[in-house]
Homo-oligomer: A and B are copies of this chain.
């Protein structure tokens, strides 16, 4: 039996996420990102399509590297305005029963103690459907919003992240033992204080002395998502992540990343299959190939290529506005996750040179990721091929139009994948972690570093 393909929808509490300018299309509803109707409507579409999770990106800052100004981003609604991704989750949980929520929260700007409470609360309210996408941030503008001149250096951010993980694992896994909560009305005892422990954490970056404020939630630690592309990032993902979000232009590139990630997971003492790896993709589909192509051409009339350069400048730290449009972009192999955005282009075909203009054109739909255009049958076949050839577990699907791109996937492609035995017909029961890893896996396995902080039974 073939493995089932996993699907996340990739969205953000903003208007122009990966396809800048398409908010101007008459069928696009991304600009109602600030209403509950948008989020509950999206959640219902995704549950109808048996998507595993809604993956919510976030960035606490503005894309102001391009032309050294936020003007382009603001005019084109390029990931700004951007609302807090956590706030609509409980409304979406109310209208769904199975959909998971993988939400991006930067650990650079909130202390472990209140953050651990936020995640535990969401895990309770969603009955165990919450995931946390661990990010450290990549925009200096975000750091300036916090009163710092610039962000912490890339590798130092991973040192901070490692300490942060240890701190939150202790709060989630070690503060309240299983069995601490009694809820004994007759005996008038809510909890057994002997099974509730103060966490005294003395790390290099964080220290505190506190009892976790929440009783154990269904998953305790939320399902951990991560998207590190650099060497440090991949090691971090291999050590901590359960869902890894990767990105690359071709099956060949993705196959290499998947192999490397699974190898690193093994080296970290984990089962390589404990990583569920999603690669980014934008699918434009319809009932026939011709209609899909027409749709794509229609969309192209609404893109903002300048918006795409604002995104690319933010991702890479390079000001494409200061370059000639016909200048060839050279890939600078600094050991920096930010360059992965460029690497996506320059390694796709090592013999091909990319100009600024070509990058803008390419990135204007689907950002850094590949775009698949075709009939539902063609798309289903193509997704299957990606999985077969790369060993990836599934796809993080960006939208061209919101929520139309997701509805097309749910209503046209998913039924074909189901017929071919490549996609679940029903959700598995239980928490998000159980849906991903099977019955009995509501909590992190013993091979995960979070398990090491637990009290022995």
Contacts and interface: CB of A to CB of B under 8 A. Distances in A.
Contacts of A84: 114, 117-118, 121-122
A374 to B, nearest CB: 28
Contact of A36 (B90, B147, B186, B188): B90
B87 A118 contact: yes
Given A31-B183, A125-B87, A15 B60 contact: no
Contacts of A113: 60, 145-146
Interface in A14-30: 15-16, 21, 23-26
A83 B120 contact: yes
Contacts of A185: 23-26
B214 A83 contact: yes
A452 interface: no
A145 B208 contact: yes
Interface in A120-153: 120-122, 124-125, 127, 141, 144-147
A83 B208 contact: no
A83 to B, nearest CB: 4
13 contacts: A24-B186, A34-B124, A61-B210, A62-B211, A82-B214, A84-B118, A87-B90, A89-B90, A91-B125, A111-B146, A113-B145, A113-B146, A145-B213
B121 A193 contact: no
Contacts of A188: 21, 24, 76, 304
A304 B190 CA distance: 12
B206 A147 contact: yes
Contacts of A21: 188
B40 A94 contact: yes
A30 to B, nearest CB: 10
